[in-house]
Amino acid sequence: MIFRSLILKASSLSPVKKAITKSSLFRPMVSRFVAGDDLDHSLSVAEDLATNGFGVSLDLLGENVATLEEATRALASYEEIIDRIGKGRHKDKINISIKLTALGLDLGDDVAERHYRHLLRHAQPYGIFIRADMEASEYTERTVAMIERVFADFPNTGTVLQSYLYRTDDDLERLLRLGSRIRLVKGAYLEPETVAYRDKATVDDMYVTEAKKLLLRGKYPAIATHDEAIISELKDFIEENKIPRDSFEWQMLFGIRRDLQNDLLEEGFKVRVYLPFGEAWYPYFSRRLAERPANLVFITKSLLKK
């Protein structure tokens, strides 16, 4: 956890960000985690994954817009993604993940909610599900409350909960009562000890406990993890409780543990790949490095070859 914190802190420094975003050395690593800069290429990747049996969640990278004009542009971009998916041959397998801060949450809950409702309304005729990604803890309550407000009108949405936050058990109960779909993750933001568990073992224990609740009581939950030990424990739980394999899905990030993704699919489980794309890839890339510091080995080897 200490090394992870150091990576996140270092990545927030302007000289580090400039070095990574301007250097061609990092492009191979970025392309491992990010499908591409443009929608055409990313949809092609999504279609290939869907053809091979995977579900896909497309995520246009970008967050924390500062003006109404930026939020409106983000809304238009999301609309284009929905239209392209809806007119494609795999609209039943491809959905989208969005950031409420990209829709203007920093400009006010009313701004983001207006844009969010518009987007959900736009997606309904296609039958496309939209998941509001969970962001840093300062947005957690506002995001959960937003889902509570819009879900009755737009059941084609849900959100994400992070097991490292102290509040997640309560949020899980709120959303289970609501009946919305939930993706469970461990959490990738650098949070203070006042709001989040810092010990990996504790985070893992919380994740397993909450995942079991979701598997028993959730509406088509998404169990998002690459942790083989956790997956093994949950597979035993699924077997013991006779939980149907089509009642939930595993979710994994594009470019990470493709072998595990294929294995789960071959075992008859549903697997969805979270597929990010776009030019604003740096924050996402930094969080992926922090989650798996071993990826730094790739960069080190590249530097030594120069």
- DSSP letter, residue 196: B
pLDDT at 126: 97
Task: Print pLDDT tens along the chain (306 aa).
Answer: 555 555 455 445 566 555 555 555 566 566 677 877 889 999 999 999 999 999 999 999 888 899 999 999 999 999 999 999 999 999 999 999 999 999 999 999 999 999 999 999 999 999 999 999 999 999 999 999 999 999 999 999 999 999 999 999 999 999 999 999 999 999 988 899 999 999 999 999 999 999 999 999 999 999 999 999 999 999 999 999 999 999 999 999 998 889 999 999 999 999 999 999 987 656 666 666 666 555 555 444 433 443
pLDDT at 28: 57
pLDDT at 139: 98
pLDDT at 298: 42
CA 2, 4, 7, 13 torsion: positive or negative?
negative
pLDDT at 255: 85
Q: How many CB atoms lie within 10 A of CB 285?
A: 21
- DSSP letter, residue 22: H
* Fold entry, domain 35-280: TIM Barrel (3.20.20)
Q: Catalytic site residues?
A: 133, 183
Domain range annotation of the chain: 1-34+281-306, 35-280
pLDDT at 278: 81
Distance CA 219, CA 227 (A): 23
In one-letter notation, the amino acid at residue 65 is V
Q: Residue 269, by phi and psi: left (phi above 0), alpha (psi -120 to 50) or beta?
A: beta
Contacts of 153 (CB under 8 A, 6+ apart): 117, 120
Distance CA 144, CA 165 (A): 14
Tokens of 63: 């967050």
Question: What are the backbone dihedrals phi and psi of residue 110, each rounded to the nearest 5 degrees, phi first?
Answer: -65, -40
Distance CA 224, CA 163 (A): 11
Residue 117, Cβ density class (10 Å: 0-12 exposed, 13-18 middle, ≥19 buried)? middle
DSSP assignment of 59-91 equals: EE------SHHHHHHHHHHHHHHHHHHHTSTTT
- Kind and range of the H or E run holding 45: helix 39-51
Q: How many CB atoms lie within 10 A of CB 61?
A: 19
Question: What are the backbone dihedrals phi and psi of residue 159, each rounded to the nearest 5 degrees, phi first?
Answer: -145, -160
